[in-house]
Amino acid sequence: MPFLSTSVLRRYTPPTCTLEIVAQDSPLSRWAGRPLLRKLRFHLSFDDPRLPDTEQVSLRGDRLQLDELCEAVSAYVQDFLNQSPTLMGTGARSSVATLEAPPMSAPPIDLSAARSARSAALSVVEPEPDALLTDQSGELASAAKATAPTPLVLESPRIFLEPQGLLSHQLHLGSLATETSRSFITLSAIQLADLATALDEYAADTTALPELSQRSWAPTLPAWAPTAAAVLLTAGVTAGVVKSLDQPTPELKTAVSLSSPQATSQQAMAPGQVPTGPLGVPAPPGALQTVPPPPPVGAIKSGLPTVPVPNTAAPNAVALAPVPPPPAGASNSAAPAPTTNQPIASIPVESAPIALAPPAESTPQAEPEVAPDTEPAPPDPAAAKLPTLESARSAAPAEADPGVNSDTQAAQAPTADTAAGSAFDSIPQVAEVRSYFEERWQPPEGLTQTLEYTLLIGPDGSIQRIVPLGQSAGDYIDRTGMPLVGEPFVTPIEGGTSPRVRVVLSPDGQVRTFLE
Amino acid sequence: MRSTVKSPASSQWEELPLAASPDSGQLDNIKAHLDLILLALEALAGIGSEAMLQAATDLNLEEMISDRVALWRLRQSSPLRKGQGGRKKLDVEEARSLVLISCHLAKQHQELIRRAVALLEQLTEQNKEPHQAALLGDYLDKFNNTYQERMEKGEDTSPDILTHLALKLLIDLLFYGAPGGPRRFWLALLDRSRDGVAAV
């Protein structure tokens, strides 16, 4: 599966393996004023110089799988280290020298639905079975042949490791295995140490990041961005659905007539399933909030819906309500005019993937694609990726009624919204602030948290006020290279306004700035 | 409230949590293992007390381990050691300091450790004795000799057991020299203290 417009977020390269964390840029990034990412995935390759290129082992998967791998490796390594030398006692030499593979035990099988769904979604690039053998191993090869044909895709067992003496370790691939691959690979001690190092570094980054995205990035998004997203989303969905289903153009249908198809498709869903939004993608409250009210022409700009819109949105929400209570509440809250604060609630949806945050929900491929996937204006790619056609179908009528107007709105939306945002958007000073800190920011040793500050910049370009956000931001302020209040800082602001700029300094040395 | 200026050591200590203070019996086990890891470093890389003190300085731990005598007293606290002269209690801060120093040294000598482990893998693969590689042979000899010299009942311990101990410690060092090493070492020590394994 090729990664389209994939950008590599992180790359960890201990000597014998390479771990890449990749994600796609979302087209929404333009409006958000910061990179929004989706479809976070990893690519792990073991680089063994003794093997030809074609036989190198390479694993791919999503974030949940990476977290599972992390846990498995970390726990195994700790366990290995915990073993007291004395416990090895007399068997010592022989256990070091042992290369014989023990009788293969079938990996535990986990039939959980979420896991199998996940394994269906992943793609693993696999070399020939033999290539998976590292070095030693006539016996392992035969063991491999014995296990290779085992169909693994449907079962999706867990990822775990098993010692083979002190020096070699079997990594059972669990859900990372594919039909064509073996169920495990053998790692030498050095490969295991390197893998652990790469995963440790990844894990250290994830602890630093979620905070960044969930708590602090959220409020900084321009208030109109979600509106833009909603408008685009609606337009895109509508256009796509109308075309793909080739239904008679729905006129302003009543909510009552809409509710029946929805109800049936909802019933068809598993009871415990994550509530799905119009595109069959799980819809966290925020997404629903932004989706329902596609304002009629003229109401786009501020996101203030006219009176009739909430009225139509609300019944739709009611139709959804029997299955998932949360969206119902969210939609209801969206029915009154979204205030400038409300859109904030939708941000975590988009920022979750960036955060590499430990997965909160059990549905695998859900969250990375939530909002971003739905918004692109040409809907075909998005529609192609829809998990089920049914859910899309069910969404169709719901979205279609205001959608008559949406095609024209789609064209207007960006301009209208940029107009709304341009007062503060993309002033050059934001970039100046960023480059100022990029030159100076040296993360102090031991810093694990992200530091954030709000800088109030005067019309003359000097700092008027510095507001550290959070305890550590205050503690570390003297080590950020922060200029003094009143000191010339950036070029004077055109129009004499006093913008507020958020500065985010990461422990990994990254600097981000954006306008509040 | 956290102070603005912290020594690197104290920030590193945050990685080494302690749920409950170990009792003196547990500390004994910790002391024994700390001494053994340092012994492995000595045997492999020829690290002496000078380098250990330098590591303490690098880590801002001079207050904990100021000089050769202090270091000797800490290591002598291992219950495996011969003689009672230098034995003292090792408190938790001192144990943490030794963890940080060990891992710092393991990191400094990571290349050597990797090479030794790679050789071991290679020889094992070929069904050969580790002694056949000079690096490993020297390491094992030095480890065995020093162990027997310093430890109570050292002479009574079978060479096979000592060889295995030395090789296990060598592989452990591979992990302790990694970025997450101190934490792993610390957790392993605490785990060891739970199991109550004191001596070889």
d(CA A50, CA A292): 57
Q: Percent of chain B at pLDDT above 90? A: 56
What residues in A contact B185, CB-CB < 8 Å? 81
Mean pLDDT of B24-37: 84
* E strands, A343-422, in order: none
Is A167–B124 a contact, with Cβ atoms under 8 angstroms apart?
A: yes
Q: What is the mean pLDDT of chain A?
A: 58
Length of chain A: 516
Give per-residue pLDDT as tens, A60-92. 999 889 999 999 999 999 999 988 564 323 333
Instruction: Kindly give the residue spans of alpha helices, DSSP state H, lying in B77-109.
Output: 92-108
Is B188–A82 a contact, with Cβ atoms under 8 angstroms apart?
A: yes
Task: Note if the pTM is more than 0.80.
Answer: no
Q: B110 falls in which pLDDT band (50, 70, 90)?
A: very high
d(CA A399, CA A231): 11
A84, A136, A197: best to mutate for the B interface, most B CBs within 10 A: A84
d(CA A230, CA A342): 13
* Candidate from A96-105, A352-361, A367-376 with smallest mean pLDDT: A96-105
Q: For residue A11, what are the β-bridge partners?
A: A20
Nearest to A172 by CA among A295, A39, A76, A297: A76
Is B124–A96 a contact, with Cβ atoms under 8 angstroms apart?
A: yes
> What Cα–Cα distance (Å) separates residue A215 from each residue in A155, A219, A347, A451?
37, 8, 10, 12
Residue type at A246 in one-letter notation: D
pLDDT, residue B43, reads: 97
d(CA A391, CA B69): 74
Question: Which residue among A88, A135, A193 places its CB closest to the CB of B168?
Answer: A88
Q: Percent of chain A at pLDDT above 70? A: 38
Q: In degrees rounded to 5, what are phi and psi of residue A502?
A: -90, 130
Contact A515, A217 (CB under 8 A): no
> What Cα–Cα distance (Å) separates residue A510 from each residue in A216, A378, A443, A513?
15, 33, 9, 10
Contacts for A452-456 with beta carbons within 8 Å, 24 or more apart?
A452/A216, A452/A502, A452/A503, A452/A504, A452/A505, A453/A477, A453/A480, A453/A482, A453/A502, A453/A503, A453/A505, A454/A500, A454/A501, A454/A502, A454/A503, A454/A516, A455/A500, A455/A501, A455/A502, A455/A503, A456/A498, A456/A499, A456/A500
The H or E element containing residue A11 is strand A6-12
Question: Which residue among B161, B168, B174 places its CB closest to the CB of A90?
Answer: B161
> What Cα–Cα distance (Å) separates residue A337 from each residue in A183, A271, A289?
54, 31, 11
d(CA A201, CA A466): 32
pLDDT, residue A66, reads: 92
A238 versus A396: which is more confidently predicted? A238
Q: What is the mean pLDDT of chain B?
A: 85
Question: Which residue among A83, A166, A190 places its CB closest to the CB of B114?
Answer: A190
pLDDT, residue A5, reads: 59
pLDDT, residue B149, reads: 92
**Burial status of residue A148 (CB atoms within 10 A of its CB: 0-12, 13-18, 19 or more):** middle
Question: Which residue among B121, B164, B191 places its CB closest to the CB of A82?
Answer: B191
Is A81–B188 a contact, with Cβ atoms under 8 angstroms apart?
A: yes
Q: A147 falls in which pLDDT band (50, 70, 90)?
A: very low
First to last CA, chain A: 38
d(CA B79, CA B192): 15
Most confident of A34-38, A235-239, A367-371: A34-38
pLDDT, residue A402, reads: 42
Residue with tokens 């039939």: A111
Question: Which residue among A93, A136, A445 places its CB closest to the CB of B8?
Answer: A445
pLDDT, residue A354, reads: 39
How many CB pairs below 8 Å do chains A and B form together? 118
Other C-beta atoms closer than 10 Å to the C-beta of A208 total: 20
ipTM of the complex: 0.89
Contact A305, A293 (CB under 8 A): yes
Mean pLDDT of B116-139: 95
What residues in B contact A475, CB-CB < 8 Å? 2-4
d(CA B53, CA B87): 19
**Burial status of residue A245 (CB atoms within 10 A of its CB: 0-12, 13-18, 19 or more):** middle
Q: Are strands A463-469 and A500-505 parallel, antiparallel or unpaired?
A: unpaired
Contact A124, A178 (CB under 8 A): yes
Question: Which residue among B2, B175, B178 places its CB closest to the CB of A475?
Answer: B2
Mean pLDDT of A246-253: 44
B6, B36, B158, B168: best to mutate for the A interface, most A CBs within 10 A: B168
Q: B192 falls in which pLDDT band (50, 70, 90)?
A: low
Most confident of A165-169, B172-176, B186-190: B172-176
A122 versus B80: which is more confidently predicted? B80
Structure tokens at B98: 């030794």
DSSP state of A496: G
Other C-beta atoms closer than 10 Å to the C-beta of A261 total: 17
pLDDT exceeds cutoff 90 at A514: no
Residue in B closest to A82 by C-alpha: B188
Mean pLDDT of B70-81: 88
∠ CA B81-B85-B88 to the nearest 5 degrees?
80
Q: How far is B152 from chain A (nearest CA, A)?
A: 16
Is A189–B1 a contact, with Cβ atoms under 8 angstroms apart?
A: no
Residue with tokens 């144990």: B95
Is B174–A166 a contact, with Cβ atoms under 8 angstroms apart?
A: no
Q: How far is B42 from chain A (nearest CA, A)?
A: 18
Residue type at B174 in one-letter notation: L
Structure tokens at A317: 């929400």
Give per-residue pLDDT as tens, A306-335. 334 333 333 333 333 333 334 433 444 334
Structure tokens at A153: 């895709």
Residue with tokens 């500050």: A453
pLDDT exceeds cutoff 70 at A495: yes
What residues in A contact B6, CB-CB < 8 Å? 446
Cβ contacts of residue B19 below 8 Å, gap of 6+?
Answer: none
pLDDT, residue A228, reads: 57
Residue in B closest to A476 by C-alpha: B4
Question: Which residue among A92, A189, A201 places its CB closest to the CB of B179?
Answer: A201
Contact B92, B21 (CB under 8 A): yes
Mean pLDDT of A260-281: 40
Mean pLDDT of A279-298: 41
Q: How far is A95 from chain B (nearest CA, A)?
A: 9
Q: Are strands A37-46 and A17-25 parallel, antiparallel or unpaired?
A: antiparallel
Cβ contacts of residue A384 below 8 Å, gap of 6+?
Answer: none
Most confident of A29-33, A294-298, A425-429, B55-59: B55-59
What residues in B contact A90, CB-CB < 8 Å? 158, 160-161
Structure tokens at A98: 């042992």
A117 versus B79: which is more confidently predicted? B79
